[in-house]
Amino acid sequence: MRQILMMADTVIQRLCTFSLAIAAIFIGILALIGVADIFGTNLLGKPLPSALELSEAGLAIIVFMGLAQAQRKRAHITVDILSARFRGWAEVASTSLALTAAIIFFGFVAWRGGLAAWQSVLIDERSMGQSPFPIWPGKILLCLGCAIAMLESLRQLVRLLCGAREDTPATQSEELI
């Protein structure tokens, strides 16, 4: 059983890295689209067709594919006025509650996003720009990103409940050094 959990732990961490790589690729693509649109508009007097629509779809992919890695690094914004003072069982209970809420949230968004992606595939949904392109791949990646974030939250919860030491995020003083 321990080997299965360790293998699942490794697989989920690699999925987080993979999803971050996809987000990084789309950041590069959006940068190229922005540069092409600016040069086309300012130098040639012709903007890049559907640049806005491509940017919208790309931003959604970047955000949702980056969620899992943000969860893995515990980089989400937290208000820890009370919870920073918790020790022992109170800290475990507080973290367990937060991770359970994250699992439910990411699972719900993945589920609903999956339904929307399936519907989009069925009707071959396309953008409304000057050069229509399929938007269902972005919806599929939204669903995938939330599913991976849910798995990462589940991985963290299992490690917490099993008593495994989890890498904690750096404090501000550590980040400044």
Q: What is the pTM of this model?
A: 0.87
Looking at residues 121-145, what average pLDDT do you find?
94
Quote the CA–CA distance of 171 and 157 in Å, as a whole number.
21
Q: Is the dihedral of CA 74, 75, 81, 85 positive or negative?
A: positive
- pLDDT (tens digit per residue) in 47-80: 999 999 999 999 999 999 999 999 999 888 887 8
Average pLDDT of the segment spanning 113-118:
97
What is the CA angle 167-168-169, rounded to 5? Answer: 125
Tell me, what's the pLDDT at 129? Answer: 80
- CA 19 to each of CA 51, 62, 103, 106: distance values in angstroms, whole numbers, following the listed order: 24, 9, 17, 15
- Nearest-angstrom CA–CA distance, 159 and 74: 14
Would the pLDDT of 175 be above 60?
A: no
Residue 84 is given by DSSP the state G
Q: Where are the domains of the chain?
A: 2-169
Burial bucket for residue 121 (CB in 10 Å: 0-12, 13-18, 19+)? middle
In which band, very low, low, confident or very high, does the pLDDT at 171 lie, cut at 50, 70 and 90?
very low
